[in-house]
Amino acid sequence: MKRIQLTGIVAGLTLALMGWTGGASRTQPQQAPPAAAAPAAKELSTQEINDAFVQQITKQIAGHEQEPAGQVFKNIQILRKTPAARFLLIMNLGYSQALGVTCEHCHVKEDFSKDDKRPKRCARDMALMHGDINQQLVKMQNLAPNPNGHFINCSTCHRGQIDPMAQAN
């Protein structure tokens, strides 16, 4: 299977989220309705934007959801063996929710495989760090028992904010 490069997807998603249907003529500009008649556009939440994006990617990888993410997507360095569908859930419900950001915070809009943005490179470093911490937690003998085990994730520190040192509102 050819690996999917996430280029052009964001542009299509942006048009879809803006309600573009493609039915308007390209030769005649559409006129906006009078201001009084225009309903207020609902601004999409970060989660709605990410959910729509993940839904679109899920359609593109149909039939390959259980294959390793490293085989389905380009430039996967962490979670390579994780099934592609689970990888998308981790990115959407793990990373983006933990930091309260859209995919574009870390990813280049035109090509998600690029490593041009510092937040993406930092997220990889942080994932390695949190893996190291979790390995140390397993070894600790003096922690109170927890039937679910002791572990941390991005939310442990970030709690929905990019800056983990920021005060919650």
CA angle 107, 112, 114 (to 5 degrees): 85
Q: How far is CA 21 from the centre of its chain?
A: 25
Residue 101: both structure tokens together: 């950001």
Q: Tell whether pTM > 0.75.
A: no
In this predicted model, what pLDDT tens digit does every residue of 79-94 receive, in sequence order? 999 999 999 999 999 9
In this predicted model, what pLDDT tens digit does every residue of 49-77 receive, in sequence order? 999 989 999 999 999 999 999 999 999 99
Fold of 9-18+43-158: Photosynthetic Reaction Center, subunit C; domain 2 (1.10.468)
CB neighbour list of residue 64: distance below 8 Å, 6 or more residues apart:
1, 72, 84
CA distances 158 to 105, 118, 154, 164, 165, Å, are 15, 17, 6, 4, 8
